Structure 1
Amino acid sequence: MPLAETLPIGADTAQWDVWGTVARVVVTEPALIDEAAALVRAELAAVDLACSRFRPDSELRQVTPGRPVAVSPLLASLVEAALTAARETGGDVDPTIGAALCGLGYDRDFAEITGRTVAPAVRVFAVPDWRAVRLSDGMLTVPHGVLLDLGATAKAVTADRCAALVAGRLGTGVMVALGGDIATAGPSPAGGWKVLVRDRPGDPAHAVRLPGGAAIATSSTAGRTWGHLHHILDPRTGLPAPAVWRTVSVAAYSCLRANTLSTAAVVRGHRAFGLLRGVPSRIVTADLEVLRIGGWPS
């Protein structure tokens, strides 16, 4: 999984494992860290119950295919974010790849499939197409044969939501990191939020500073792997995108936007440069060469 490291854990920081990655909360007012962590934990639990593909009691799993179903405002916002990402990337980031992921063996929480080396059985699944999903006035329609997977965007949306929640409720500056998805809100520390962007131990690392309200997302073909597969699919083939890039990191003023671009860049491979034109981005090639574009600092 992509790593997003900050200063060592201290009185201003809380950290725990969640969703096969690490949640980290840092605040500018150390006395508020316990309250901030409690708010983030509650939001993570709510999102998991709303849209987890891996728990049978999630709201998303209760949606009946083929007919409009009333969904909660939280699930509606998560689906809308996924559809927005699909629309803005021309379908490179598509939430209807759930069946394809299951067919490749990613059919349970990632912690349970780590180390899997046996090829999964071949399955037939519907051709993904985000345009077939309908969301209007809180009513969600998912076509027959389509399994939604919001994993490409939900973690980034949740980082944004958690940062805004903590800053709004507690009046403190905050950074929320969910693996490679980092969002900030409220006032930043002097000099900005210090972040070390790196994928795997031993990979190239780069320390940057974020102003308050900024975000970074990293998408990786080296993290979340099982056997020879990784989790970022090309929706057009239903298979993992060719690993042209080891990682793509993007900075933006929302984690959702940053994640949308970083994921689409992995899917596009060599065609990613047009997508990232003018956007601060750091690309690590398969042979660990580092490319900086769009004003990403040296």
Structure 2
Amino acid sequence: MPLVESLPITENTAQWPVWGTTARIVVTDPRRLAAAVVLVRHELAAVDTACSRFRPDSELRRACATKGGMRVSPLLADLVEAALAAAEQTGGDVDPTVGGILAGLGYDRDFAAITGRPAAPAIRVFPAPDWRAVSLNGDRLTVPEGVLLDLGATAKAAAADRAARTVTTRLGVGVLVALGGDIATAGDAPEGGWRVLVQDRPGDPKCTVRLPAGTALATSSTQSRRWSPGLHHIIDPRTGRPAPDVWRSASVAAWSCLAANTLSTAALVRGHRATAMLATVPSRLVTATGDVLRLGGWPA
């Protein structure tokens, strides 16, 4: 999980647990930290209410259970649109219709509550996923019967982008918002840029990079969210099983966290084919044996 090198937590940084990971914000003006925390917490709460797969009262769960579709909030419409765009961009590698498969494999609640549980039988409880079967027409969302959407591959990254933009717009400060491996920045950066230590797991290869103002970084991993042997949260939609462990992690830099996460997730699904996709994108792949492959100008 990328870590952010910054001033001590009491000066310009705050963090708290959320969504089975850690939310961390850094601001360029420590006097605005408390207000920034309020704004980010509010944004994350709104996203959770809109699209959590684990909350029976979430808007997304209600939409998945409503035959014939339903009108949804602008926030959920934006998040679903982002997920469908990611699916189209990656040729279906990042597919939001894998929620049923994840639940069937045992990932049916917040990650912190499932670690160490026995593996669930590998049974397709839901129809085979296909993002093209989901319809979003304006604010009307229609999900095929029996399909459970999971926006985890895109919504957390989109939430980081949204939260960073909100803080800068409302408070006029530079900010970095990190939600686990999803990092977004907005406004002015500290002198020399935002220093980010990229390392997925303790003992994994690490490096420090500097993010210019307004850029983002996402790291996706086949190691960080494992709840049973052989089971992790990066699903290959074509097989309905966790993607093979060709890469331990994939890190991508882009102008938005959503764009970066779309590519980093697709890289893990594509395995060896990821290098062609990332050839011109600043990216860093860590192999199953811990070797590092740098692409697209990623610093040595």
What's the TM-score, normalizing by structure 1? 0.97
1:96, distance to aligned residue in structure 2 (A): 0.3
> Partners of 1:9 and 1:117 in 2: how far apart?
37
Report the counterpart of residue 285 of structure 1 in structure 2. Answer: 287
Please state how far the C-alpha of 1:5 moved relative to its aligned partner.
3.0
Aligned equivalents of 2:118, 2:83: Cα separation in 1: 30
One-letter identity of the residue aligned with 2:142: T
Tell me the residue number matched to 2:36: 36
CA deviation map 1:62-109 (0-9, x unaligned):
114431210000000000000000000000000000111111011111
CA distance in 2 between partners of 1:98 and 1:126 (Å): 11
Secondary structure of residue in 1 paired with 2:210: strand
Matched, 1:261 2:263: yes
**Native 8 Å contact 2:184 2:214 kept in 1:** yes
CA distance in 1, matches of 2:59, 2:207: 39
In structure 1, the residue matched to 2:243 is: 241
Runs of 4+ in 1 over 4 A off after TM superposition: none
In the TM superposition, 1:183-198 aligns within 5 A as 183-198=184-199
Change (3 A) 1:10 1:244: same
Alpha-carbon distance change, 90 to 46 in structure 1, aligned in 2, over 3 angstroms: same
Alpha-carbon deviation of 1:4? 2.9
Q: In the alignment, residue 79 of structure 1 is paired with which amino acid?
A: V
Moved more, 60-69 or 137-146: 60-69
- 2:35 is paired with a residue of what secondary structure? helix
Partner SS for 1:250: strand
- How far off its partner does 1:3 sit? 3.5
1:213 matched residue in structure 2: 214
Shift of 1:119: 3.5
Task: Give the drift of 1:120.
Answer: 3.8
Whole-angstrom CA distance in 1 between matches of 2:256 and 2:58: 26
Kindly provide the amino acid, as one letter, of the partner of residue 50 in structure 1: A
Cα separation, 2, equivalents of 1:145 and 1:57: 17
Cα distance in 2 for residues equivalent to 1:120 and 1:46: 34
**Secondary structure, in 3 states, of the residue corresponding to 1:284?**
strand
Look up the SS of the partner of 1:97 in the other structure.
helix
Residue 169 of structure 1 is matched in structure 2 by: 170
How far did residue 124 of structure 1 move?
A: 2.8
Shift of 1:121: 6.5
* Whole-Å separation in 2 of the counterparts to 1:211 and 1:243: 31
In structure 1, distance between residues paired with 2:284 and 2:149: 29
**CA separation in 1, counterparts of 2:241 and 2:71?**
32
The equivalent residue for 1:45 is: 45
CA contact (8 A) 2:105 2:119 kept: no
Residue 139, structure 1, aligned to residue 133, structure 2: no
Deviations 1:175-220 (A, max 9, x none): 0000000000000000000000100111111100000100000000
CA contact (8 A) 2:188 2:213 kept: yes
The 8 Å contact of residues 106 and 119 in structure 2, kept in 1 or not, is answered as no
Show the counterpart of 2:117. Answer: 116
**RMSD (Å) for aligned C-alpha atoms:** 1.1
Any conservation in 2 of the 1:222–1:247 contact (CA below 8 Å)? yes
Flag structure 2 segments of 5+ consecutive residues without an equivalent. Answer: none
SS of the residue 1:194 aligns to: strand
Q: Is the 8 A contact 2:14 2:25 kept in 1?
A: yes
1:113-159 alpha-carbon deviations (Å, 9 max, x no partner): 01223434634320100000000110000011111000010000000
Matched, 1:15 2:15: yes
Kept in 2, the 8 Å contact 1:159–1:178? The answer is yes
Moved more, 187-196 or 7-16: 7-16
SS state of the match for residue 67, structure 1? coil
CA contact (8 A) 1:4 1:182 kept: no
Gaps of 5+ in 1: none
Code of the residue aligned with 1:12 in structure 2: it is N
The amino acid that maps onto 2:254 is: A
Percent of aligned pairs with the same amino acid: 68
Contact 1:65 1:143 in 2 (8 A): no
- What residue identity is the alignment partner of 1:164? R
